[in-house]
Each structure stands twice: as C-alpha cells, then as structure tokens.
Amino acid sequence: MSQVVTRIAPSPTGFMHIGTARTALFNWLYARGRNGKFYIRIEDTDRKRSTIEATDVILNGLKWLGLDYDGDIISQFERAPRHIEIAETLLEQGKAYKCFSSPEEIQKFKNIAQESGESTLFKSPWRNTDPSQHPDSPYVIRIKAPETGETTIIDEVQGKIIIKNKQIDDMVLLRSDGSPVYMLAVVVDDHDMGVTHVIRGDDHLNNAARQNLIYEAMEWNIPIYAHIPLIHGEDGKKMSKRHGATSIEEYEQNGYPASGVRNYLTRLGWSHGDEEYFTDQQALEWFNLNNIGKSAARFDFKKLQFLSGQHIKNSENAALLHETLKFLEKHNKTSLSEEKIKLLSSGLYCLKDRAKTISELIDKAHFILTSRPIQMSSDANSSLDKEALEMLGILTPHLHNATWTREELEQICNSVAERHGVKFGKLASPIRAALSGQTKTPSVFDMMLVLGRNETIARLNNVQV
Ligand code: GLU
C-alpha cells in the first residue's frame, strides 16, 4: 500500500476542544506508527472567526500535546481558486450545472412538496437545460447527484453504510457569489494533499456520502474513512463544560503532563486488550483503526488522573524537570535560580511518586521552592508548641555531627522522640512545619536529605528564636 497520509482539519473557533485533540492524536498515531505523513489544514473559510489568534490556539494545543506535523500548515481559504477550478471542471464535463432558481423559488418548491407529502429535497428545473436557454441572472453551481441507486460508505469504525441516492440532493458546489462550499473544499483539499485516511468525528459521517459524490464525479480515489464516536461526559451526554474542562488548554493549565493526556486520550475510544497505561512507543506500535470503539467513550477524570500520575512517576528526571520548569514559568510566572533548580532536580525522586499532576508536584516541592524566613500556614504553626520547640532544641545540635544518611537521620530523630517519651509523629510535625511551613509534604527525612545539613539546621533554628 502507498504511504499513509492523515490530517487534522480544525476550524479555528478560538479554543481547541478535547475531542479535536483526540482526533488529531488518532491521526498522528496512525500516520507516525506507519512512517506516514500527518498534515494540518486549517478550515478557515469563516473569515470572521479565522483570526491568527484562533489558529495559534490550535497550533499551541498540538504543540503542547507533542504532535508534530509535516510540511506547511495549509489554509483552506487560500485554496479557494483551486476549489472553484474543480467546480468549473465538473460543469464543463456536464457533471454539474448552473441553477438559476432563487431562494424564494426553492422555498416554494419545498412548501408544495411538503403539502403533497413528497420529498422536500430540492429538484432543480435547470438540471438538464441547454445553456442557450440560460438567463443572465445569478446562479449557483450544483453537482448532478445520481437519482437512483445507492451510495455506500465503507467505514473502518462504523462498518458499511448505505444511503439511497433518492435521499441526496444536487448539492451546491459554488454559491451565487462564486464562493466554494465547505463540502467541496474538504474533498479537493484531501485529494490534493494525498490524504489516504480520513479519521474524524462521526458528526461528519453524513457528509461522507455527499463528499463521495464529488470524488466519484472527479474519478478520484475515495479515502479510507474512520468516523470516531464523540466523547461523552460521565453521564453519557455529549462532553460539555458541565462535565469539566473541555479545552485542551485547560488540561495544560491544570498541570496534567502531556504524556498522561496522550495516553488517556488514546485509550478513550480505542483499546488494546486491557492495557490502560502505555508509553508513546507502545501507542505508536499498537494503534489501529480496528480497535476504535463503536459507541461513545465516556470521559473519566479519575482515570486521567491515575494515568497522569503513572506517567509522572515513570518520567525521566531530566524530562520531568524540564516540564516542571516550563510549567512554573508559564503558569506560576516564576523562574528559579540555578541553586533552586539543582535542589528541585535532586528532590524529584520524592516528589514524583504520588503527584497526579505537575501542579501537585509543584505543591509538594514547596519546601524546595520557598526560602527563609519560611512562611507558616496556621496549621503548621499550631504544631510548634512549647513541647515541640523543646524537642527541636534537643534535636538540632545532634544534626551538626550527623553523616546525613537516611539511616542516621532516622536514628537521631527516633532517639530524641524516645527520650522525650513521644511517638516519632509528635516530633515529625514540628520538623515538617519548620522545614516547609506546611503540614502536607514529602517525608521529613526526604526533606532533610534534599535540603542538606546547613539549610535544615538553619530552618530548624529559625523557628526556635
Ligand atoms: N473542520 C471540521 C471540524 O472541525 C473537520 C472536517 C473534516 O475532518 O473533514 O469538525
């Protein structure tokens, strides 16, 4: 088979829906897993909505998700002359015709058809007229759809769909102002781009029948279709803001790691046995069209969080550090000193374990990101009572001579607690407060190890004055 070519063809609406992101991901996986090409075509014929900013939202979403594309970004609007050329070719070949019926005449046709209980699909009186009889008035160009027989769509997900040609009207190709319609533009663009597989939302399934008419009239190869069911919320209704974040940007802002979102979205509506967690490499190897589900997938935030946590845990430290620093800069508007970056890097081992998002990881890293004097939360402050301060007073001198291994730190802390007749937890709370100003942190030993002797002692001394 020839090289696989897929594309994502978003309309710039000002935000990138999670469903568009998943469609892009499926197309990307399908192409990249087969050494194919993946293109972006911006369907920007609606000039009011098609701003540079709206296109940037889509490109940023794809970039964040890690979906690289081939060639230049294609603008559908800029290709209008080519769409017009094809409509004119079909006209010359007698496969399309000029229709001079006014909107009022069309409405009248429909009203009469409705009253007499017949099909309201418009049948133009101009379909078979001789050009010599044509008036000098505005016209549209319509395709001559077959009047009998059936149109079959073979879909990799939906199976075989048969539509009676009686149900398909002579669709307009060029409007009376000479502008091409969307349906024509899609087909011409997909053909010219060499698209072999059209993987898109099943809200476009009906369009496929009408698009096939254009392919057939031009004697072009029809691409392989895979219409994927839309994403639903947990209640089984179409995913909307009511269910949670619908734009890919929000997932980025909420700190989900791109790898976790990729894994989750791949799994959303596609399966490989019972596998839930997989790497990009596995997804590229395994992804196919056969295992896309036929019914709508339900968005499950818990699963997304679980998978995101797994991806954070399994990240290489260098990549995780990079992603965390980027997040801090972009969303927390913070850039760290060299010294803090080093500390963060050495602390990742204890931060990545149970963080479901990069923002959670950053919260856990508070003891690293903060500096003396440590600001105390009121909860943390309440653990620093008289007895606690006494214990810290005993503990601190012992730390001066410690070798700073986990074993030795544990031993010192345990013996101070024991001598004081308290459980270790009683001592851990004030240490935690002194080192971080918070009550929820990695273990006190991890914090001590990451901060090092001098900083630990300085923070412990700070709360004792
Ligand atoms: N522009 C369409 C959309 O955003 C996609 C059309 C297609 O993939 O053929 O839904």
Q: Residues 199, 87: one domain?
A: yes
Question: What does the pLDDT read at residue 465?
Answer: 77
189 lines ligand 1 (CB under 6 A): no
DSSP sequence for 29-43: HHHHTTT-EEEEEE-
Q: Which of 129, 72, 81 is nearest to 101 (CA)?
A: 129
Distance of CA 188 from the midpoint of ligand 1 (Å) = 14
8 lines ligand 1 (CB under 6 A): no
What is the count of structural domains for the chain?
3
- Angle of helix 338-351 relative to helix 317-331, nearest 10 degrees, comes to 120
| 266 in a structural domain | yes
Q: What's phi and psi for 199, nearest 5 deg?
A: -110, 115
Among candidate residues 228, 244, 273, the one where a domain is terminated: 228
223 lines ligand 1 (CB under 6 A): no
Task: Tell me the CATH number at 435.
Answer: 1.10.10.350
Q: Residues 223, 285: one domain?
A: no
Q: Residues 190, 263: one domain?
A: no
H/E segment holding residue 160: strand 159-164
Q: How far apart are CA 361 and CA 365, in angstroms?
A: 6
Mutate which of 30, 39, 186 to test ligand 1's pocket (most atoms within 8 Å of Cβ)? 186
Alpha helix (H) residue ranges in 276-377: 280-286, 301-314, 317-331, 338-351, 358-364, 366-369
Question: What does the pLDDT read at residue 240?
Answer: 85
Q: Residues 398, 273: one domain?
A: no
Mutate which of 200, 212, 228, 248 to test ligand 1's pocket (most atoms within 8 Å of Cβ)? 200
Give the count of alpha carbons within 13 A of 8, CB side only. Answer: 29
Q: How far is CA 216 from the centre of its chain?
A: 34
Structure tokens at 233: 């919320």
36 lines ligand 1 (CB under 6 A): no
Strand 5-8 to 37-42 pairing:
parallel
200 lines ligand 1 (CB under 6 A): yes
Q: What is the C-alpha end-to-end distance of the chain, expressed in Å?
A: 77
Q: Residues 205, 283: one domain?
A: no
| 337 in a structural domain | no
Contacts (Cβ under 8 Å, ≥6 apart) of 95: 143, 144, 217
Distance of CA 409 from the midpoint of ligand 1 (Å) = 60
| 368 in a structural domain | no
The helix/strand/coil state of 128 is: coil
The number of the ligand 1 atom at minimal distance from the alpha carbon of 8 is 8
| 42 in a structural domain | yes
Distance of CA 45 from the midpoint of ligand 1 (Å) = 12
Q: Residues 101, 205: one domain?
A: yes
Residue 403's alpha-carbon distances to 72, 345, 418, 428, in angstroms, are: 59, 22, 21, 20
Q: Residues 221, 240: one domain?
A: no
CA angle (262, 267, 270) in 5-degree steps: 130
Q: How far apart are CA 204 and CA 153, in angstroms?
A: 12
Question: What does the pLDDT read at residue 2?
Answer: 87
Distance of CA 268 from the midpoint of ligand 1 (Å) = 19
Distance of CA 193 from the midpoint of ligand 1 (Å) = 15
The number of the ligand 1 atom at minimal distance from the alpha carbon of 200 is 8
Distance of CA 204 from the midpoint of ligand 1 (Å) = 7
25 lines ligand 1 (CB under 6 A): no
- pLDDT digit string (tens) for the chain, length 465 residues: 689 999 999 999 889 999 999 999 999 999 999 999 999 999 999 888 888 999 999 999 999 999 999 999 999 999 999 999 999 999 999 999 999 999 999 999 999 999 999 999 999 999 999 999 999 999 999 999 999 999 999 999 999 999 999 999 999 999 999 999 999 999 999 999 999 999 999 999 999 999 999 999 999 999 999 999 999 998 889 888 888 889 999 999 999 999 999 999 999 999 999 999 999 999 999 999 999 999 999 999 999 999 999 999 999 999 999 999 999 999 988 899 999 999 999 999 999 998 999 999 999 999 999 999 999 999 999 999 999 999 999 999 999 989 999 999 999 999 999 999 999 999 999 999 999 999 999 999 999 999 999 999 999 999 987
Question: What does the pLDDT read at residue 46?
Answer: 84
Atom 4 in ligand 1: which residue has the minimum CA distance?
A: 10
Question: What does the pLDDT read at residue 1?
Answer: 62
10 Å Cβ neighbour count for 197? Answer: 22
Atom 3 in ligand 1: which residue has the minimum CA distance?
A: 10
Distance of CA 341 from the midpoint of ligand 1 (Å) = 43
226 lines ligand 1 (CB under 6 A): no
- One-letter amino acid identity for 236? G
Q: Residues 120, 58: one domain?
A: no
Q: Residues 86, 193: one domain?
A: yes
DSSP sequence for 424-458: HHHHHHHHHHHHHSSSS-S-HHHHHHHHHHHHHHH
Q: Residues 123, 33: one domain?
A: no
Please give the radius of gyration of the chain, using alpha carbons only, rounded to the nearest integer: 31
Q: How far apart are CA 163 and CA 144, in angstroms?
A: 16
Pick left, alpha or beta for residue 98 (phi over 0 → left; psi -120 to 50 → alpha; otherwise beta): beta
Task: Tell me the CATH number at 166.
Answer: 3.40.50.620
Alpha carbon dihedral 387, 388, 394, 397, in 10-degree steps, equals: -150
Q: Residues 100, 199: one domain?
A: yes
| 118 in a structural domain | yes
H/E segment holding residue 30: helix 18-32
10 Å Cβ neighbour count for 335? Answer: 10
Strand 150-155 to 140-143 pairing:
unpaired
The set of catalytic residues is 241
Among candidate residues 203, 228, 253, the one where a domain is terminated: 228
44 lines ligand 1 (CB under 6 A): no
Domain that holds residue 389: 378-464
Among candidate residues 269, 299, 314, the one where a domain is terminated: 314
Structure tokens at 294: 């036929």
Residue count (the chain): 465
The helix/strand/coil state of 293 is: coil
Mutate which of 6, 7, 11 to test ligand 1's pocket (most atoms within 8 Å of Cβ)? 11
Pick left, alpha or beta for residue 194 (phi over 0 → left; psi -120 to 50 → alpha; otherwise beta): left
Atom 7 in ligand 1: which residue has the minimum CA distance?
A: 9
| 210 in a structural domain | yes
Q: Residues 134, 56: one domain?
A: no
| 366 in a structural domain | no
* pTM confidence score: 0.93
227 lines ligand 1 (CB under 6 A): no
Atom 10 in ligand 1: which residue has the minimum CA distance?
A: 10
Alpha helix (H) residue ranges in 203-257: 205-218, 248-253
10 Å Cβ neighbour count for 109? Answer: 17
| 333 in a structural domain | no
Burial 29-45 (b: 16+ CB within 10 A, else e): bbbbbbebbbbbbbbbb
451 lines ligand 1 (CB under 6 A): no
Distance of CA 23 from the midpoint of ligand 1 (Å) = 10
- One-letter amino acid identity for 222? I
